[in-house]
Amino acid sequence: MKKISTLCALVFSAVFLNAQTISFSLNSSNTEAANVNLYNAAGVKVYSSDIAIQKGINTIAQDTYINFSNGIYILEVASTTKKLAVKLTK
């Protein structure tokens, strides 16, 4: 039986350290590829990036080079088997 990979315990350590950086930590039960997507309050994708997640705790810091305005955003991390999302306020 093939074990299904999952992302678990999406925990944010810091969000928007400055206007152009997204930082967070997550714990994964497997090594796998994932996508990081950021949506604004209207549901429009304003940032996307591919990341490699290792088994265990991962600290991700993404320089976006985009000046985000104040508001509500949804940060989504998605692998082929799991999608997690968290509402953020800047």
Is 22 exposed, middle or buried (CB count within 10 Å of its CB: 0-12, 13-18, 19+)? buried
More confident residue, 17 or 59: 59
Each residue of 49-78: pLDDT tens digit? Answer: 999 989 888 888 888 888 888 888 888 988
Domain parsing of the chain, residue ranges: 7-89
Which amino acid is located at 35 in the chain?
N
CATH class of 7-89: mainly beta
Q: Report percent pLDDT > 90 for the chain.
A: 23
Rounded CA-CA distance 14/25 in Å is 8
What was the pLDDT predicted at 1?
42
DSSP letters along 43-90, please? Answer: S-EEEEEEEEE-SEEEEEEEE----PPSSEEEEEEE-SS-EEEEEEE-
